[in-house]
Amino acid sequence: MVLSVRPESTSNWIRQRGQRHPASILFRVRPGKGVAPNKLSAQHDALKLALELDAAQDMRFDIDKGYVTIDVPKLDKDRYFVEASDLWSRWKRPEFGLRVPLGEDRFGNVVEIDFTSSNSPHLLIGGTTGSGKSEALNTILAGITQHYTPDEVRLQLIDPKGTELEHLSESEHLDGEIGWDEEDAIGILLRAVEEMQARYASFKNAKVRTIGDFNANVAEGERIPRWIIVLDEYADLTSEPDAKKTIEGHLKRLAQKARAAGIHVIIATQKPDASVISTNLRSNLPAQIALRVKSSTESRVIMDDPGAESLTGKGDAFFKASGVLTRVQCAKI
């Protein structure tokens, strides 16, 4: 097999042909003429041995713009993390809409979630224990409470464990108390559906189509806040079939119609199983954050693509919106 790699030093080759990420380095390799790309991926075990990777570390092979890309995880001593305070200092909130910083890509750019975009109005977060799922969720919520007032954004939270979101129990952004079971989830979702319908009635009377247009045409005291509805540990809320059917029914209505009304849903789970996250549910959550999972099957459940099984944990994630995958190191509080 022949690879068209320049005869340069390793460090210079990385600089010229590699892109650094907090948790990995992406190498771009152009195979020699007549060499099938799958011959490179077939060398997975030999490369892993040569690079002295740990058993839990894995590489991701892909094809991009005429190159085979090899995403190689860094050793723990070589990776770095992103502090939320540093991320926020490099980010400016928009004058309109709802955007929230998530983390940093391999170029050092801030990656944000735009809840006002049709590509990412609702979000699915999945990852196994130790992947950084809870930290990613809390970074998003901290970004909201840090940069938007309670008059701009209200939170509706469901936390079955009673520990993951407890620090927000006294937040001025929180509506009511934090829920903890399927009955609470059904109540919050039903209220959100009713609120959505009431908002659209108000929009019709005001002859506008969206919450942005409505708020731009009324006095400050009459503006409607956006709602963020969070269902953490989704598997614990849908273990009972009747409750699951009701919850998914409300979620489907919200996911299909609530964006223009300023109501957004975030679902998080440590059990990204097809019996928990159905294809229909995921299709109604157009943006996904996939942290480390146990298998490619679980990766596909979250974002309809393999690869999350090769992530390194501790906030290393794929953010997918409008079909585009971005590897991101989620910031930590």
Q: Binding site for ATP: which residues?
A: 127-134
Which structure tokens are listed for 53? 């990777």
Residue with structure tokens 């890509």? 105
Collect all residues with Cβ–Cβ distance below 8 Å to 114 and sequence separation of at least 6: 97, 98, 99, 120
Burial of 28 per CB tally in 10 Å (0-12, 13-18, 19+): middle
Provide DSSP, 208-274.
Answer: -SSHHHHHHTS-GGGPPPEEEEEE-SHHHHSSSHHHHHHHHHHHHHHHHH-TTTTEEEEEEES---T
Q: How many whole angstroms separate alpha carbon 254 and alpha carbon 240?
A: 21
Residues within the annotated binding site? 127-134
